[in-house]
Amino acid sequence: MSVLVAEMAAKALQMNIPLSVQLDLTYRCNERCIHCYLDHHDHGEMTTAEIKDLLDQMADAGVFYLTISGGEILMRRDFFEILEYARLRTFCIKLKTNGILIRKKEADRIKALGVESVQISIYSHVPEVHDAITKLPGSLAQSIEAIRRLRAHGIHVIMANVLMVQNVHDYAGVRALAAELGAQFIMDPTITPMMDGDRSILNLNVDEAALREVFRNESLVGGNIEEFCAPPLSPGEDEMDQLPCSAGHTACYVSPYGDVYPCVQFPLPSGNVRRMKFVDIWRDSPQLNEVRSIKLRDMPTCSKCTHGGTCTRCPGLAYLEGNMRGPSYQDCEKSYARTGIPSENLKARKASSQPYHSLRLVQIQGLQPAAQALPFSVTESSVVNA
Amino acid sequence: MNNKRYVARSTAIAARVLGDETMVMSATNSTLFTLDEVATVIWESADGATPLEEIVANKICTQYDITPEVALKDAEGLVEQLAEHGLMLLSDKPIAQSAAATGGTK
């Protein structure tokens, strides 16, 4: 982050201005990604007029960075009408799309409307792997074609690679593809629960060994690995009052139905723009004010953890794990993979865990007639189907 | 010699007033700039129809302790810098909104 951007963010925080908003236009999508945290039905999306009114409200409230996402944004027939209106209200516009519906005409229009960046998810450079994740045959080829069209216009394209079990070995290939296409490469190593709290997709997360490999890859980390993976110092007094992230402080998320949340990854309903003004929700929502009150010093375990000052703890993930002030074990595990030092939460979880029974020694000999005793001994590590 | 100079904000920008400052970002290269309080007054008054000299006389000299000559010189330096980065359009004739939207004539 540049000094100027940091200064503006600090000023926005001081003035309680929502500098950055992600607005999802729709949850409908032409892909069916296996790790997606959304359902894809239309439960009553905001109309074009409602979205334009919201854009007016957000501009008046001071929103500068506007990320337009979904679902697939081009599934909305009024997408370019909305984009044009957002341009008139002078937002810094970032788009997130899979690019499937971006053909020449759409690329020309996006260029003309001066968006800051277009982010497209590419899961693998191998078509079979990417298409198996999106469940849309031919999707990799179509997304790459969209990237080429956008790059031909000089548009800043970000190629986002979400790491999961299915594509764990492919990030180097995606990175090389990004370089070839002139796109920026970013990686997200975390699969998050669905917005409705369903955690079944978490089994797509890569294991600790794969995470460790990522954190020790100098070309991905882009700095000093020794320093990045070094055991952290315990948090100091200043860090005790640090904010966990921008969610609810200078940023928030608005769903296609007008629901306001602290962040797309923090599904705490905080108001609805169909019933209240955006700025009133931003300023007065008890939920957002609760999020704003979270400080490291108030978290009983994290405040005593050596990772406290450097952890990427996400309050939204903690909320999805049951308590926005409690642990986000996914972040604890990332800190562990990075440094090799377990967090206080991981230690507490291990200490309080119940004995693991599935491998227990089961006395089966007594069930057998003495003359037919098993010809081998059962050890504690044997799996016994009693 | 006609010294009238018209100024208009480009539409190929992102901009937002933050307190007494303005953030302006070029949509062509994502470079971020901030304008201070006085520059913000000129930025907000740059409607393409009001000459820069008039903006300086009516919005700057009436609010700040500065001579018209010095204020105009400063303002010209500012708008030229902004124009170099594609954030503002300059013309010796009034600038229509459609010209600002398409890049206009400098």
DSSP string, A57-80: HHHHHT--EEEEESS-GGGSTTHH
Place of tokens 């002078």: A90
Q: How many CB atoms lie within 10 A of CB A182?
A: 14
Answer whether A8 sits within 8 Å of B19, measured CB to CB.
no
Mean local confidence (pLDDT), B2-13? 86
Answer whether A64 sits within 8 Å of B30, measured CB to CB.
no
Contacts of B12 in chain A (CB under 8 A): 114
Per-residue pLDDT at A143: 98
> In which band, very low, low, confident or very high, does the pLDDT at A349 lie, cut at 50, 70 and 90?
confident
Place of tokens 């190629």: A159
> In which band, very low, low, confident or very high, does the pLDDT at A35 lie, cut at 50, 70 and 90?
very high
Three-state secondary-structure class, residue A41: coil
Distance from chain centroid for Cα A7: 25
DSSP string, A297-313: GG-TTGGGSTTTTT---
Answer whether A90 sits within 8 Å of B14, measured CB to CB.
yes
Answer whether A90 sits within 8 Å of B11, measured CB to CB.
yes
**Which residues 26-45 of B are in CB contact (within 8 Å) with A?**
27-28, 30, 32-34
Residue A368, CA atoms < 13 Å, CB-side half-sphere:
10
**Strands (DSSP E) along chain A, which ranges?**
20-24, 65-69, 92-97, 117-121, 157-162, 184-188, 251-254, 260-261
What is the average pLDDT value for chain A, to the nearest integer? 88
pLDDT digits over A8-27, tens only?
899 999 999 999 999 999 99
> In which band, very low, low, confident or very high, does the pLDDT at A130 lie, cut at 50, 70 and 90?
very high
Residue B40 scores a pLDDT above 80:
yes
Rounded Cα distance between A127 and A60, Å, is: 44
Place of tokens 């903006």: B55
Residue A356 scores a pLDDT above 60:
no
Answer whether B11 sits within 8 Å of A87, measured CB to CB.
yes
Q: Kindly state the percentage of chain B with pLDDT values over 90.
A: 75
Which residues touch B14 (CB under 8 Å, ≥6 apart)?
A: A64, A90, A91, A92, A93, A116, B23, B24, B25, B27
Q: Which of B13, B19, B28 sits opposite A11 (nearest CB)?
A: B19
Per-residue pLDDT at A219: 81
Cα torsion at A308, A309, A311, A316 (round to 10°)?
80
Q: Is A365 on the interface with B (CB under 8 A)?
A: no
Smallest CA-to-CA distance from A93 within A11, A146, A183, A21 is with: A21
Strands A117-121 and B47-51: unpaired
Q: What is the largest CA-CA distance in chain B?
A: 39
C-alpha distance from A357 to closest chain B C-alpha (Å): 57
Rounded Cα distance between A332 and A352, Å, is: 16
Mean local confidence (pLDDT), A22-40? 95
Q: Is B15 on the interface with A (CB under 8 A)?
A: yes
Place of tokens 């930025």: B43
> In which band, very low, low, confident or very high, does the pLDDT at A354 lie, cut at 50, 70 and 90?
low
Least confident of A67-81, A167-181, A187-201, A352-366: A352-366
Q: How many CB pairs under 8 A join A and B?
A: 51
Per-residue pLDDT at A254: 98
Q: Is A370 on the interface with B (CB under 8 A)?
A: no
Which residues touch A366 (CB under 8 Å, ≥6 apart)?
A: none
Answer whether B25 sits within 8 Å of A92, measured CB to CB.
yes
pLDDT digits over A185-240, tens only?
999 988 988 888 888 899 999 998 999 998 888 888 877 888 888 888 888 888 88
C-alpha to C-alpha distances, A4 to A7, A317, B24, nearest whole angstrom: 5, 30, 11
Q: Exposed (0-12), middle (13-18) or buried (19+): which is A50, by Cβ within 10 Å? A: middle
| Stronger pLDDT, B86 or A379, i.e. the higher one | B86
C-alpha distance from A6 to closest chain B C-alpha (Å): 11
Rounded Cα distance between A150 and A162, Å, is: 21
Three-state secondary-structure class, residue A316: helix
Per-residue pLDDT at A227: 85
| DSSP conformational letter for B24 | E
Q: What is the largest CA-CA distance in chain A?
A: 89
Contacts of A4 in chain B (CB under 8 A): 32-34
Token readout for A331 is 């972040």
**Which residues 45-104 of B are in CB contact (within 8 Å) with A?**
none
Place of tokens 């409705």: A196
Sign of the four-CA dihedral A2, A8, A14, A16: negative
* CB-based contact A206:A164 (threshold 8 Å): yes
Token readout for A323 is 């308590």
Least confident of A313-317, A354-358, B28-32: A354-358
Q: Is B12 on the interface with A (CB under 8 A)?
A: yes
Residue A141 scores a pLDDT above 80:
yes
Q: Is B25 on the interface with A (CB under 8 A)?
A: yes
Rounded Cα distance between B76 and B63, Å, is: 18
In this prediction the ipTM stands at 0.84
Per-residue pLDDT at A95: 98
* CB-based contact A39:A50 (threshold 8 Å): no
Instruction: Find the residue in A nearest to B97 (Cα).
Output: A88
Q: Is B17 on the interface with A (CB under 8 A)?
A: yes
What domains can be seen in chain B, in order of their start residue? 6-90 (3.90.930.60)
Smallest CA-to-CA distance from A318 within A332, A300, A336 is with: A332
Q: Which contiguous run of DSSP H or E holds residue B47? A: strand B47-51
Per-residue pLDDT at A2: 77
Q: Kindly state the percentage of chain A with pLDDT values over 90.
A: 64
Per-residue pLDDT at A352: 79
Q: Which of A59, A91, A114 sits opposite B12 (nearest CB)?
A: A114
Contacts of A17 in chain B (CB under 8 A): 18
pTM of the predicted structure, to 2 decimals? 0.87
Rounded Cα distance between A163 and A186, Å, is: 11
Mean local confidence (pLDDT), A305-309? 89
Orientation of helix A139-152 relative to helix A104-112, angle to 10°: 40
Q: Which of B14, B27, B30 sits opposite A64 (nearest CB)?
A: B14
Q: Is A232 on the interface with B (CB under 8 A)?
A: no
Answer whether B18 sits within 8 Å of A8, measured CB to CB.
yes
Smallest CA-to-CA distance from B56 within B82, B74, B83 is with: B74
C-alpha to C-alpha distances, B11 to A88, A114, A115, B87, nearest whole angstrom: 7, 9, 12, 8
Mean local confidence (pLDDT), A155-182? 96
